[in-house]
Amino acid sequence: MRQTTQPIFQEYPQQSATIYRLYKAPLVKPDQVVFRINGHEGRVILMDEIAERSVERHRPNFYSQTDLMYSYIVRNPNRVITIDEVRKGIDRRYLSLDFTQVVSCLKFTGKLRELFFRSSKSHLIFYNPVTIARMQMLEIAYEDIIPYLAEKSYPTFKQGLSHTMKHSDMSQNERLAPSECMQ
């Protein structure tokens, strides 16, 4: 007697579609770097390691409180930093900004903020670089971060002058940062 067999995807369409998608997905390692922040010359540059592109998210005023705190944070990733430690590290007795304000001033919002920072007023952890394992742990998809790469404040070296011309059409009010970030 001859038995007829059916392919598994016809018998269990939903399960096999998932299996098919897993086989079609490129092999990735949990420790593969997806995003990183580069703090070159005080600029906040979001780098996409997979698509090999970068975007300058913000440029704090030179030697402002935000600039000094950001520089210290970038030099000390992946560990708990206290506000007292930053105060001593940047040699300032008084800081009018706390960590939550600094992260907001640097234009980290929504899922991008969740991906790179864990902060309170007095403590902060800056996760840099961000790996696939961290994104999976937070249940943040790569596609959730793509809109943040489209929000361009300033051009980076890779984008050249073509973006500068588009940016010059912006009104003066759209380019100004909040006054508390300029301290």
Q: Where is pLDDT greater, at 43 or 158?
A: 43
Tell me how far the alpha carbon of residue 67 is from its chain's centroid.
Answer: 17
pTM over 0.75: no
Cα separation, 153 vs 109, in Å, equals: 14
Question: Would you say residue 170 lies in a domain?
Answer: no
The residue written with tokens 């309170």 in the block is: 120
Cα separation, 115 vs 152, in Å, equals: 19
Residue 183 pLDDT > 90? no
Question: Would you say residue 55 lies in a domain?
Answer: yes
Cis, peptide link before residue 77, omega less than 30° from 0: no
pLDDT band for 9, please (50, 70, 90 cuts). Answer: very low
Residue 79 pLDDT > 50? yes
Question: Would you say residue 41 lies in a domain?
Answer: yes
- Do residues 63 and 48 make contact, with C-beta atoms less than 8 angstroms apart? no
The confidence score (pLDDT) of residue 18 equals: 40
In 3D space, the residue among 114, 81, 116, 77 whose CA is nearest the CA of residue 99 turns out to be: 81
Residue 162 pLDDT > 80? no
pLDDT band for 181, please (50, 70, 90 cuts). Answer: low
Any idea what the CATH number is for the domain that residue 139 is in?
Answer: 1.10.10
- What residues contact 6, with CB distance under 8 A and at least 6 apart? none
Containing structural domain, residue 64? 29-161
Q: How many domains does the chain have?
A: 1
- What residues contact 151, with CB distance under 8 A and at least 6 apart? 55, 57, 107
Question: Would you say residue 18 lies in a domain?
Answer: no
Residue 20 pLDDT > 80? no
The confidence score (pLDDT) of residue 60 equals: 92
Question: Would you say residue 117 lies in a domain?
Answer: yes
Q: Where is pLDDT greater, at 71 or 170?
A: 71
